[in-house]
Amino acid sequence: MLLLIDQAFKIYIKTNYYLGEEHKILGDWFRLHFVENEGMAWGLQFGGSFGKIALTLFRLVAVIWGTFYIRNLIRKKAHKGFIICVSLIYAGAAGNLIDSMFYGLIFNASHLGSHHVAHLFPPHGGYASFLHGRVVDMLYFPMIDTVLPNWVPFWGGKEFTFFDPVFNLADFYISFSFFMLLLFQRRFFPDNAKKDKAVAAQNAEAAPLQEQLHPSLNMEQDDSAATDESSTIKITPLR
């Protein structure tokens, strides 16, 4: 379902917005802004044409592996929260993988500044070959858009926007899932947390037992301390 929502949203933007078109949804801080990127999540680039193919193939392998991994988690009855997070990462990776694999084949090109809206399944074919499609991004949250004061080192007087990257739902699925995994890792992996507590408890119990089992070590330490004290010679000055 999440994958279908991601793809439906992308197809709507691709076939109704020209490249660079922007519409304000909630004031100035939430906008739909149509851009395309050839690389990773959040519009990051990776190694040109070769990097594009390598990244797409990596996503393909990850999605195939993720299919079996999620099925294994369900069989083992893993924590539902963990399964949901992994499923979100899977849906995000699959969503951007579909863009990279097929969008170049099923859409014609969107050109910046031309106000040309792309069409699905154009009669003359798509804009790129297999594995060379561009990922569609549209979510833009410039919550802070200002000019930095001149006294700020290096960036003084320059425009500053937070949050600047344009992303899509698939990127959000992945980023949100990683955040939740970090936040609730102890709840998702209670066995590991119990093991850590058990090891700490064993170490705490082992300390006094070692002292009882090896009294000779304590006696040797006491004797050495006494020897050090006896070997200290006090010299009293003559009057």
Domain membership flag for residue 79: yes
Domain membership flag for residue 191: no
Domain membership flag for residue 197: no
Beta bridge partners of 53: none
Buried b (16+ CB within 10 A) or exposed e, 191-202: eeeeeeeeeeee
Residue 235, classed as helix, strand or coil, is coil
- Report residue 147: phi and psi, to 5°: -115, 125
CA distances from 41 to 81, 109, 157, 231 (A): 23, 21, 29, 72
Tell me what pLDDT residue 43 has.
53
- Residues classed as catalytic: 137, 171
Domain membership flag for residue 72: yes
Domain membership flag for residue 166: yes
Record the tokens describing residue 193, joined without a space: 């947390």
Tell me what pLDDT residue 20 has.
95
Domain membership flag for residue 208: no
Tell me what pLDDT residue 34 has.
97
Tell me what pLDDT residue 233 has.
45
Domain membership flag for residue 32: yes
Domain membership flag for residue 61: yes
Cis peptide before 163 (omega within 30 of 0): yes
Closest CA to 52 of 144, 131, 155, 158: 131
Q: Are 107 and 135 in contact (CB under 8 A)?
A: no
Per-position pLDDT tens, the chain of length 239: 899 999 999 999 999 999 999 999 998 899 999 999 876 555 555 556 777 788 888 889 999 999 999 999 999 999 999 999 999 999 999 999 999 999 999 999 998 888 889 999 999 999 999 999 999 999 999 988 889 888 988 888 888 888 889 999 999 999 999 999 999 989 998 876 566 555 555 666 655 656 565 555 455 555 555 455 554 444 445 44
Provide the domain limits for residue 10: 2-183
Tell me what pLDDT residue 152 has.
87
Tell me what pLDDT residue 219 has.
53
Q: How many domains does the chain have?
A: 1
Closest CA to 3 of 52, 63, 61: 63
pTM of the model: 0.74
